[in-house]
Amino acid sequence: MAAKQKILIVDDDVNIAELISLYLTKECFETKMVHDGESALAEFPQYQPNLILLDLMLPGIDGYQVCRELRAQTDTPIIMLSAKGEIFDKVLGLELGADDYMMKPFDSKELIARVKAVLRRYQPARHETAPSDIRRVHFPDLTVNLTNYSVEYLGQTVDMPPKEIELLYFLAASPNQVFTREQLLDHIWGYEYVGDTRTVDVHVKRIREKIHDHDTWSIATVWGIGYKFEVRQ
């Protein structure tokens, strides 16, 4: 029997944390609850969760700082939870490395759907893939391999979360084709994701911080429309 996937729930509201734990337990997840930022940082290396549900408004160290410190040591997916609904809060959370953002109160079915969707993107391949099935694009000084979720830039492996790799691969696999933000949101995050197009902008920004424009290619902004992976002769 496969081991249950573990979810670390970080919320100072004990009742909400217990309710989330109940939802997840019914879906055969294992859960652990902590109620402040310091406990979350202390518990993470011991518990080694597959995903973290992180409330923003925590006593002591807030959720933003917890996210920042976790991202310095791990790519474990993080879904932020908050009663705040302003675009600024969402974008800041995503820029710090969160994988998704949910506003309270939320529907239990939506929470479970988002947890499962994020976890699916982090699952390693479970079988050997035939060479003909390898999904990989190569350009001078850049190789993006979606089969094993790896990016090589200037001869070095670049650490990227799965959604950044998926977005980069999707653009690079169709060079010089323009995609709207809505198209990218639909293709990368799918129908289960209820978000705004700024999510795409945030992820493109994070990709550009890790790989820079090349003499022969670049991730180009098409103003008023979206983005394209531009290849120059």
Q: Domain with 32 in it: what CATH number?
A: 3.40.50.2300
Q: Does the predicted TM-score (pTM) go above 0.85? A: no
Residues 84 and 142 in one domain: no
Q: Domain with 223 in it: what CATH number?
A: 1.10.10.10
Residues 70 and 166 in one domain: no
Q: What number of CA atoms fall less than 13 Å from residue 164's CA on the CB side? A: 23
Range of the domain at 186: 135-231
Picking from 93, 109, 1, the residue whose alpha carbon sits closest to that of residue 52 is 93
How do residues 156-195 score in pLDDT, each as one tens digit?
999 988 889 999 999 999 999 999 988 888 888 764 555 5
Residue 58, domain member (yes or no) = yes
In the block, residue with structure tokens 């003499």? 215
- 33 neighbors 18 (Cβ within 8 angstroms): yes
Using 50, 70 and 90 to split pLDDT, how confident is the model at 102? confident
DSSP-assigned letter for residue 216: S
Residues 178 and 224 in one domain: yes
Residues 140 and 102 in one domain: no
How do residues 23-66 score in pLDDT, each as one tens digit?
999 999 999 999 999 999 999 999 999 999 999 889 889 888 99
Comparing 4-13, 58-67, 96-105, 156-165, the range with the smallest average pLDDT is 96-105
106-127 mean pLDDT: 76
